[in-house]
Structure 1
Amino acid sequence: MSLDSLLLSALAPWRSSPIWWVAFSGGLDSTVLLHLLARLADRYELPVIRAIHVHHGLQVAADDWSAHCQLVCDELGVALSVIRVRVGSGASVEQAARIARYQAFGECLGEGELLLTGQHRDDQAETVLFRLLRGAGVRGLAAMPAVRSLGRGSLVRPLLEVSRADLEAYARANGLAWVEDPSNQQLEYSRNFLRRQVLPLLQQRWPRTVSSLARTAGHMAEAQQLLDELAQQDLAAAQGIGDCQWSNLPNLALAPLRGLTSARQRNALRYWLAGLTLAPDENHWAGWECLRDARPDATPRWRLAGGELQRGGDRIWWLPDAWLEPVGGPVSWSGPDTSLALPGNGTLRIEGELPSGRLQVRYRQGGETMLVPTRGRRDLKRLLSEAGVPTFVRARLPLLYCDEELVAVANLPQLSRGGVALNWCAPEF
């Protein structure tokens, strides 16, 4: 199959997309991709083709590359957007540049638009080998997906089945010029070492190394899909509604998880945590076992990137770092308004008639008591425990005071006086 036909077939599901953006670095891969698309657009009714070049500012020749990209786009009649980014500091310049680049791409994409990148089969094989040497699991060895969401649109890699040799042959046959990043020759970068030293040596012994590694990525992607489907089934039983769902904190019932094998527990949790934090490495799962096996009255914590898991009743809860920050002091409530914005802690709404007196919203400090109808004065800590409010929610739970007397606890109608209902919309972090 010709490159034209292969590309047209790969992009067939997105022919109705409003714009196809090409991530155009000026290198071989993206130059061939842009040329192919521009040529196809002359013969077929395709979405608008545009190019986007990210200027990292890391190389002396970066300005020249931008100028080269503009020249190529002018010749092809394709509009080019050049975006300058600031690359963050860190142990890996490559990784920091990649993060900055894809953040810029994501911000450019409109609803339903595509970003097309030129990664090919050799890149896929290199990624598999790189991740294998780092001890990646099934998800990591699936390497680069052909399609994934990005911003308000999607990222598509339509050339993953094409070899670099085929791309270079096309470029030479069509007289295309491209730029070479000199950093690609620096062997101190691990990927360059694999590309320049390791893969050629492997191919001397096993000529089909690249295609075999790329095929392995496909097998791993299929295996990961099955693992994800199993995780969805296992999580379905654990995602029932429990108490305090108004806290807006992701949570799971613990009992269904305990009934799974250890391997299925880890698989389900990896899937659930994927949108919340970085995947725990193999040496970090002891934190889960401590959390799972702790006594009911214990308060174990499993610390992860950007937050932690805690136990609350018979459920586990994800608490982002922002939730763990202390809330502010008292907030006065005056006037006829029945709603109140709490700094850093969502909003409150009163249903019923506002009590007459000096109203203030406060948070627990310890030692609070409340006069409960038919029960007399009771310790607030015990009342919250009876209501099943997890310990980590209590510090943020708004308390309404009228003339120094606690008259209502947010979202607990059984702990209110005078027909006042205090509804709290907790923050979403």
Structure 2
Amino acid sequence: MIPASIYLPEDLSAFTEALEFFLTKVNADTTVSIAFSGGLDSTVLLHLLSQHELAKPLKKHLYAHYIDHGLQAISLDWKAHCQQICESFQVPFKSSVIEIETRQRQGIESVARKLRYQALSAQLPCTDDVLVTGHHQRDQAETLLLNLVRGAGVAGLSAMPYQKEIVSMRGRFQHIRPLLTVPYEKLVAYAHYFQLHWVEDPSNELLNFKRNVMRHEVLPVLEAHWPNVEKTIARSAQNMSEARLLLDRMANRLLLSHKQSNYFLDLNLFRDLDWLEQKNVIRSWFSKTGSQSLTLKHYEWIRTVLFAKSMSRQNAFSYQLPQGELAFFKDRLYYLPELPKPFTVYLDEFLNTIVRYKVQQGVGGRIPSEYSDITHGYEFMINKELLSKSHLIEVRSLSQADDFNRKKLKVFFQKHSIPVWERRVWPVLALQGELIGVLGCSNCLNSLSEPIVDSNQKVIEEVKIKVPEALIWQLMGLVVSIPKWNA
């Protein structure tokens, strides 16, 4: 293996420029995970980041991650090849197996992509770590053309961003494509110059995949007439990306002028805008909320609901998406990855969940002290001794068997425009199975029990414990996706 130096041959200088720019996006303590398939592009990227002298500061926090999709009979051979390459480059190697339920060709690419990124992100240890992939200029051109023939808008024609933040259950991390501006033929030249070895995926030749049709049949025709077509198409993607950025800025100004929830968009606040501006606000909001893009038929449905002359009795509409659903309640547009389900969490588990969440968000390993001084929340009468036995106190879904004032609770739900799917699992606090509070509604109980007594039947002094309502709201957001109504 020929080691890389700071000065590559002139025809490979694009790699030095790409590496220098990438190094401005990370620091010496950033963990960098390379999605390593053993193919040409990821092999070149792994070599560049592990062997180039400029990349030495990254080496101690760099590792390669191979994903076995289970779609190829020789995947174990590829894994062995990848592990051998990593050993020769002195880069730690990890591997994961994902199972793709559908075997239909239609949609299998998107399913595999989603599962692949889930597996890759699951191994990133900390927030703000970086996942890198070997996408290059030809990939960018193919993506734009594929989105173009699908009738994509500005977002789709922006193709792949150089850098994107991805939110997972473990936190936030950055996905960066360091080689996105490098032409494919330069990757081939780099691999030959450094005598690299890579595997070829036979599925890349199958024309029942749309990307392969674009690569093997469409782009060659375009290149025959416009030799630099990949570069110019990639430049168009960059221009569209800048246009999208401007549209996002316009939408964000409008969204910031009206406080919004991550769970819903209150479109009543934007009724003075024309449809194009409303559509841009919806697109920008949904891009931060959903893991998919809205299509023309989705926007047409939203517009139909907005301008419907007669509303349903409950003022509610829903539209099923490939992942989750869109739902209207009142003038709010919701995106529901899944409907909230009934739950039960004991207080000790609940507090531990919040503490773990706070640690992941970098707040620290204990409950922040400001929660002990909440004055705008509701209060419960809880026995001081039993409070220490938090395993007896549970946060759970409302049950029809609970003793609560149905009329007052209905008024509470209506006042705060709480949608029907949240009402079915609304959180309550119970002590030893007995209802002692309804989240957000301090007067929804019919009555409180007699003072709790200890085992010796001696009345223990009752104390008012200010329940950390903000913590409970956070738990609801994490466990059952119930937001605070004024968000």
User: Normalised by the size of structure 1, how large is the TM-score?
Assistant: 0.78
Residue 139 of structure 2 corresponds to: 123
Amino acid paired to 2:295: D
Residue 109 of structure 1 corresponds to: 124
Residue 204 of structure 2 corresponds to: 184
Residue 440 of structure 2 corresponds to: 411
Equivalent residue for 1:238, pick from 258, 272, 280 = 258
**Residue 146 in 1 paired to residue 146 in 2?**
no
Equivalent residue for 1:212, pick from 232, 237, 241 = 232
How far off is 1:387 after superposition?
3.7
**Residue 22 in 1 paired to residue 34 in 2?**
yes
Q: Is the 8 A contact 1:17 1:114 kept in 2?
A: no
1: CA distance, partners of 2:133 / 2:152:
24
Residue 59 of structure 1 corresponds to: 72
Q: Which has the higher strand share?
A: 1
Secondary structure of the equivalent of 1:352?
A: strand
How far off is 1:397 after superposition?
4.4
- Unmatched runs of 5 consecutive residues or more in structure 1: 242-248, 332-336, 342-347, 355-360, 371-377
Superimposed CA distance per residue, residues 353-405 of structure 1 (whole angstroms, 9 cap, x where no aligned partner):
79xxxxxx99587xx995xxxxxxx955874477455452544446899xxxx
Distance 1:95 1:399, change over 3 A: closer
Q: Is the 8 A contact 2:404 2:446 kept in 1?
A: no
How far off is 1:258 after superposition?
0.6
Q: Is the 8 A contact 1:400 1:408 kept in 2?
A: yes
Residue 43 of structure 2 corresponds to: 31
2: CA distance, partners of 1:316 / 1:94:
30
Q: Is the 8 A contact 2:50 2:59 kept in 1?
A: no
Q: Is the 8 A contact 1:56 1:86 kept in 2?
A: yes
2: CA distance, partners of 1:369 / 1:25:
58
Amino acid paired to 1:285: Y
**Residue 6 in 1 paired to residue 17 in 2?**
yes
Higher mean displacement: 69-78 or 159-168: 69-78
Q: Is the 8 A contact 1:308 1:318 kept in 2?
A: yes
Distance 1:239 1:287, change over 3 A: farther
Equivalent residue for 1:285, pick from 299, 305, 325 = 299
User: Normalised by the size of structure 2, how large is the TM-score?
Assistant: 0.69
**Residue 307 in 1 paired to residue 325 in 2?**
yes
**Residue 132 in 1 paired to residue 148 in 2?**
yes
Residue 339 of structure 2 corresponds to: 322
Fraction of identical pairs, as percent: 31
Distance 1:397 1:28, change over 3 A: closer
2: CA distance, partners of 1:362 / 1:25:
45
How far off is 1:235 after superposition?
1.6
How far off is 1:74 after superposition?
2.1
Distance 1:25 1:319, change over 3 A: closer
Q: Is the 8 A contact 2:408 2:443 kept in 1?
A: no
Secondary structure of the equivalent of 1:115?
A: strand
Equivalent residue for 1:160, pick from 156, 177, 180 = 180
Distance 1:353 1:281, change over 3 A: same
How far off is 1:115 after superposition?
2.0
